[in-house]
Amino acid sequence: MKALLPENELERLAALRRYRILDTPPDGAFDHITEVAASLFRVPIAIVSLVDHDRIWFKSHHGLEARQVERDAGLCASAILSPDVYHLRDAIHAPRALANPLVAGSLGLRFYAAAPLRTHDGFNLGTLCVIDRQPRELAPAEAEMLTKLAALVMDQMELRLAAGKVADLEQVERRMSEQLRQANEALVQSEERFHDLFDEAPIAYVHEGVDSRFIQANRAAMRILGLKPEEIAGMFGKSLVPDTPDAQRRLRDALDSIGRGTDTSGVVLELRRKDNGKPVWVQWWSRPAAGGSYTRTMFIDITERVLMEHEQVRLEAQNAYLREEIRIEQDFADIIGESPGLRKVVQQIQLVAPTDASVLITGESGTGKELVARAIHEHSSRNGRTLVKLNCSAVPEGLFESEFFGHVRGAFTGAIKDKLGRFELADGGSLFLDEIGEVPLAMQVKLLRVLQEQELERIGDTRTRKVDVRIIAATNRDLKKEVDAGRFRQDLFYRLSVFPIEVPPLRERREDIPPLAAHYVRQSARRMNRPDLRITQAALSELAAYDWPGNVRELQNTVERAVILSRGGPLRFDLAGSNATDASRPRTQSASKPDLLTRDELKRQERDAIAAALKQTGGMVFGPGGAAKLLGMKPTTLASRIKALRLNRKTGV
């Protein structure tokens, strides 16, 4: 059966060739991803495939001996035509799949699911696919996980391509360095040829005083630095160095070396062009003249290499973020429930998702605000990029600016390398700021400026960087009251709440409790490899009667605890000590109002509660018996709070 071709097949093949990956040796990074995919989906086969003009070549083929198949009969040839995850529950019912030797042959493959490997400019180069010999369904959460793993494969391909380009640039630099050496030897051997070599040399050449004042510069130097011949006289080289800690430190070291009359070799400097102020990086060599009145300086332009290294840093940061997203266990399934309150939330998501409007999600802790934020992102035009998250309550007060905007090396004690902030990491996508009410007032001013101007500066850097980020914020506080109390800026509140969404607590949508409980039972049983478990109608009525102060998160933890304790038979839910009430019975308020607590007292209570949980669990944070389960918190959030409060996990102090 003839394979269908994408409309942009020639451009797609050209994009595939640019990655220079076809017929390359095995790579541990790709093999690790297919191994993880096979483990996560519990399938015997996971493949990273690349669709060439006449074949489908496997870069990694976990659980399969074949290295390639013909394109005409390839399942992946159909998968790259799909914009989303391509899924066959049972391949024997798909006419095109029957021609595939992996289906029709001795392997007898049945289930197939593939996420396309999509480039930033929209070309599907191949797939990350998982295959089983048994037919099965693909859950929405599994499709989401497969998409994230495919994004990891593309990041690995981008890193591999970037590394190749850096190697090519380094080879060019070595050739230029050799030319520089040869030119320097020619200058020493023949002073008569000096003028021509100086002015026409392909290497930038400058004579400057020990105070960096230019005496003479050749054409290559003027081209790199953006100088005109009439600007040479009186120009100081140090005036081209930006006012950042790292750049100024490198300049001081270079000037000190020149002042001592010693040679300087291979120093990298960051400069700003004189004509347009754009950054340029150079690698330079300096040799003081006899008598020490001036120095000869030679340099080459390495801007392209440095920018490529910066791009590698960004890709590695995004790669690490995606791996962390996959590692953390979360529920990415569809929003479950049919109550009027939840239907209203879904309608609001459908309305606001296609826009770029800022969204403020409010609701009690554990109601699923993060799930709403993810749904907004996934139904927006930005869903091709990562949804970056930041829990503001887990950030120490002094580190907010670094977490938001990043920093450059040397900006403060401990800043040993450049770091991208969450805004840069989310560029082109969405940034979810959970617990936004925890941001200090001083930081709210800077946050508001970035939201208004869509530009930022890293700590210690003077360079302004443009970002395109959609903000989705969430809080369990009443921000209007916080504004009235002077703890939250009114202008920031209005900037964030362009489109507010309130997620109702679970006690106000009790009809959603049975389907939620059934969903979490199936999820927990599958994760723990338990047989199908049963919930009686009496147990469901008991769950529906409980007020669930911890909302959906508490329900999930209660169900998981019941599955762990199950020894066969109907599930039993431990609601001892909780006040299960008739949903129709009005709730009475306490006779006396509770005392109001200050922020310091709240933090002290939080510290005492976490310390007590750590002592009770012996320092264990993760897992069924960990402190996170006892406190009803996400393990990653609890780990961040332990670090922020400077608690010892083992002792709790």
pLDDT of residue 5: 83
Do residues 469 and 427 touch, judged by C-beta distance below 8 A? yes
pLDDT of residue 112: 93
First to last CA, the chain: 69
Give the pLDDT confidence of 36-56 residue by residue, as tens digits.
999 999 999 999 999 999 999
Burial group, residue 114, by CB count within 10 angstroms (0-12, 13-18, 19+): buried
> What is the mean pLDDT of the segment spanning 497-504?
94
Q: What is the mean pLDDT of the chain?
A: 84
Of 159-163, 247-251, 271-275, 567-571, which range is least confident? 567-571
Buried b (16+ CB within 10 A) or exposed e, 286-305: bebeeeeebbbbbbbbbbeb
> What is the mean pLDDT of the segment spanning 496-506?
94
Do residues 268 and 283 touch, judged by C-beta distance below 8 A? yes
What are 297's strand-pairing partners? 206, 286
Confidence of residue 195 (pLDDT cuts 50, 70, 90): low
Q: Are strands 359-362 and 455-456 parallel, antiparallel or unpaired?
A: unpaired
Between 372 and 294, residue with greater pLDDT: 372
Tokens of 266: 């291979």
Tokens of 642: 């332990």
Flag whether pLDDT at 278 surpasses 80.
yes
Secondary structure class of 467 (helix, strand, coil): coil
Of 113-122, 365-374, 641-650, which range is least confident? 641-650
Distances (CA, A) of 62 to 30, 45, 142: 10, 6, 19
> What is the mean pLDDT of the segment spanning 425-441?
93
Do residues 225 and 215 touch, judged by C-beta distance below 8 A? no
pLDDT of residue 87: 93
Flag whether pLDDT at 92 surpasses 90.
no
pLDDT of residue 598: 66
Between 401 and 416, residue with greater pLDDT: 401
Confidence of residue 192 (pLDDT cuts 50, 70, 90): low
Highest mean pLDDT, choosing among 53-57, 105-109, 183-187, 631-635 = 53-57
Distances (CA, A) of 97 to 49, 88, 146, 172, 222: 16, 9, 21, 48, 62
Of 200-209, 427-436, 490-499, 550-559, which range is least confident? 200-209
Question: In angstroms, rounded to a whole number, what is the distance separating the alpha carbons of residues 241 and 285?
Answer: 16
Question: In angstroms, rounded to a whole number, what is the distance separating the alpha carbons of residues 303 and 290?
Answer: 32
Confidence of residue 623 (pLDDT cuts 50, 70, 90): confident
pLDDT of residue 328: 43
Flag whether pLDDT at 605 surpasses 60.
yes
Of 80-84, 216-220, 356-360, 563-567, which range is least confident? 563-567
Residue 175 contacts by C-beta under 8 Å, 6 or more apart in sequence? none
Buried b (16+ CB within 10 A) or exposed e, 206-242: bbbebebbbeebbebbbebbbbeeeebeebebbebbb
Do residues 631 and 610 touch, judged by C-beta distance below 8 A? yes
Flag whether pLDDT at 159 surpasses 50.
yes
Question: In angstroms, rounded to a whole number, what is the distance separating the alpha carbons of residues 130 and 75?
Answer: 11
Question: In angstroms, rounded to a whole number, what is the distance separating the alpha carbons of residues 464 and 451?
Answer: 14
pLDDT of residue 437: 92
Question: In angstroms, rounded to a whole number, what is the distance separating the alpha carbons of residues 645 and 653?
Answer: 10
Distances (CA, A) of 185 to 121, 172, 298: 47, 20, 13
Flag whether pLDDT at 577 surpasses 60.
no
Secondary structure class of 55 (helix, strand, coil): strand
Flag whether pLDDT at 539 surpasses 90.
no
Flag whether pLDDT at 391 surpasses 90.
yes
Neighbour count for residue 482 (Cβ, 10 Å): 16
Do residues 212 and 240 touch, judged by C-beta distance below 8 A? no
Flag whether pLDDT at 587 surpasses 60.
no
Residue 242 contacts by C-beta under 8 Å, 6 or more apart in sequence? 270, 271, 272, 279, 462, 463
Tokens 């496997």 locate to 58
Give the pLDDT confidence of 111-153 residue by residue, as tens digits.
999 999 999 999 999 999 999 999 999 999 999 999 999 999 9
Q: Alpha helices of 529-634 — where are they, by DSSP H?
A: 537-545, 551-565, 599-617, 627-631
- The DSSP letter of residue 459 is B
pLDDT of residue 653: 67
Query: HSE (CB half, 13 Å, CA atoms) of 41?
Result: 35
Confidence of residue 431 (pLDDT cuts 50, 70, 90): very high
- The DSSP letter of residue 589 is P
**Degrees (nearest 5) of the Cα angle 311, 405, 118?**
40
Give the pLDDT confidence of 18-29 residue by residue, as tens digits.
999 999 999 999
Give the pLDDT confidence of 311-349 residue by residue, as tens digits.
887 777 777 666 655 544 343 345 888 889 999 999 999
pLDDT of residue 588: 37
Q: For 286, list phi and psi in degrees, rounded to 5.
A: -135, 140
Flag whether pLDDT at 250 surpasses 80.
yes
H or E segment and range at residue 378: helix 369-378
Tokens of 546: 């409980």
Confidence of residue 369 (pLDDT cuts 50, 70, 90): very high
Neighbour count for residue 471 (Cβ, 10 Å): 22
H or E segment and range at residue 407: strand 406-407
pLDDT of residue 325: 57
**The residue type at 260:** R
Sign of the Cα pseudo-torsion (156, 161, 164, 166, in order): negative
Tokens of 318: 């995004």
Flag whether pLDDT at 572 surpasses 80.
yes
